[in-house]
Structure 1
Amino acid sequence: MDEAGFASARRGPGRPRAEGHDERIFAAAGALLDRGEEVTVSRVVELSGVSRASLYRRWPSMTDLLAAVLDEGREVPEIPLDGDLLENVLVAYTSPRAAGPNFSEDRFRMRLRLALTDRKLAQAYWRSHVARRRAGITAVLEAGIARGELRADLDLDACIDLVNGVFYYQYVVRGASFDDPDVVARCREAVRVAWRGMTTDERRE
């Protein structure tokens, strides 16, 4: 991904960012992705009209730029902490446009494909984007524990992986779409099963 220049070129102090550069860089990288072309410094500079130095100042690497472009349109889901926590999770995960109004399923599938073939990209995407979107579900699980509804010994990361895996499986293995009501119903039931395993013994009886 033409990473070499990033190691030696970093933004210096006192140099303001030119207005509109970020948007042009994003648009250029996104256009290359959508056309199936390799995203390189040279091609992004050519399409965006932004200088190579400006690109280097904005992004620590092309991998980080690509991860940001792939995440465009995604939002951090807000999950209420009052009322029925399980129902709040189901609504947040399965309501129409739960991923955000600008979510692109084609771009999402592209991210999956690229991440499977590029471990550095997958790790960059995790650090800068995926991890922050877990804050909502983490807060829900912590609220459930505080209420005494969920087990105090839960491994929160493992539980979140379990719930999120339900949805990734539909995309990656089944090739399903969440426009299909049967897919949504299957995911909701799977989350309910996972949730029962997280509840305290008293709540299961």
Structure 2
Amino acid sequence: MSDVTSTADAPRSPGRPRSVRADEAIVQATLDLLAEGNSIEALSIEAIAARAGVGKATIYRRWSGKDALLLDALRTLKGTPPEPAGHSVRDDLVLLVGAVGHNVDPRAAKIMPCLVPEVNRSPDHYQLYQTIIEPRRRLMRDVLRRGVASGELRADLDIDLAMALLSGPMVLQRVLRWHPELDDRILPERIVDGVLEGLRAR
């Protein structure tokens, strides 16, 4: 993917200052169109510009292309990942597992399930997804490594497998609503406590 890096923070030449209101309108228009069922392939800069009430040039002054804009829009959809306190491996894992599949924007319930097949079909869209999710994965990786270093977790722990064991059930429940009787409010604690039984140092 050639243009997944956002140009939103790129240095700007002197001239008319960019409008934060226009930036927000463009991002919101992108999310609205996705929520209405438009696929990534079908989504066009022309349609986004028309919905946002701006010209195409306004978008291209801010983002290098559609993929860069999508990256910022989907980051907005998910919000800022939580920051572990660093006092308790268990508490930090509960915090991070609770953030898996959680989005601050209600449109995510319509957008995210529709993106799954597109991510599976397209290497470029898969890379876009990885770009968004890797910072969150890194937070969990750091917590697990801290647990290994402190002796709380097994020295031979497979970090990536442990992350999959912790994250998988939350993705299944929140994206696919797999089991209606599972209480989403306490599920992160139940997952972490269950998985930690196998991860703790003996």
User: Could you tell me the TM-score, scaled by structure 1's length?
Assistant: 0.71
Where 1:141 maps in the other structure, the secondary structure is: helix
In the alignment, the residues of structure 2 paired with residue 60 and residue 179 of structure 1 have an alpha-carbon distance, to the nearest angstrom, of 42
Aligned to 2:85: 80
Aligned to 2:53: 49
Contact 1:64 1:124 in 2 (8 A): no
In the alignment, the residues of structure 2 paired with residue 14 and residue 155 of structure 1 have an alpha-carbon distance, to the nearest angstrom, of 51
Aligned-partner residue type, residue 118 of structure 1: S
The alpha carbon displacement at 1:160 in A equals: 1.7
User: Which 10-residue stretch deviates more, 39-48 or 183-192?
Assistant: 183-192
The alpha carbon displacement at 1:76 in A equals: 0.3
The root-mean-square deviation of aligned C-alpha atoms, in Å, is: 3.4
In the alignment, the residues of structure 2 paired with residue 67 and residue 180 of structure 1 have an alpha-carbon distance, to the nearest angstrom, of 34
Contact 1:68 1:125 in 2 (8 A): no
Could you list the runs of 5+ residues in structure 2 that have no partner in the other structure? Answer: 4-9
Contact 2:119 2:126 in 1 (8 A): yes
Once the two structures are superposed, what CA deviation does each residue of 1:150-183 show, in whole Å capped at 9, x if it has no partner?
13343433322332122223356xx326874356
Could you list the runs of 5+ residues in structure 1 that have no partner in the other structure? Answer: 4-9
In the alignment, the residues of structure 1 paired with residue 184 and residue 28 of structure 2 have an alpha-carbon distance, to the nearest angstrom, of 33
Q: Quick one: structure 1 residues 166 and 98, their matched pair in 2 at CA, closer, same or farther if it must change by over 3 Å? A: closer
Select which of 134, 144, 147 maps to 1:131: 134
Q: Quick one: structure 1 residues 193 and 39, their matched pair in 2 at CA, closer, same or farther if it must change by over 3 Å? A: same
User: Could you tell me the TM-score, scaled by structure 2's length?
Assistant: 0.72
Task: State the identity as a percent.
Answer: 24
Q: Quick one: structure 1 residues 11 and 40, their matched pair in 2 at CA, closer, same or farther if it must change by over 3 Å? A: farther
Aligned to 2:21: 20
Q: Quick one: structure 1 residues 18 and 178, their matched pair in 2 at CA, closer, same or farther if it must change by over 3 Å? A: farther
The alpha carbon displacement at 1:141 in A equals: 1.0
Aligned to 1:7: none
Larger RCO: Structure 1 or Structure 2 (Cα < 8 Å, ≥ 6 residues apart)? 2
Number of aligned residue pairs: give it.
188
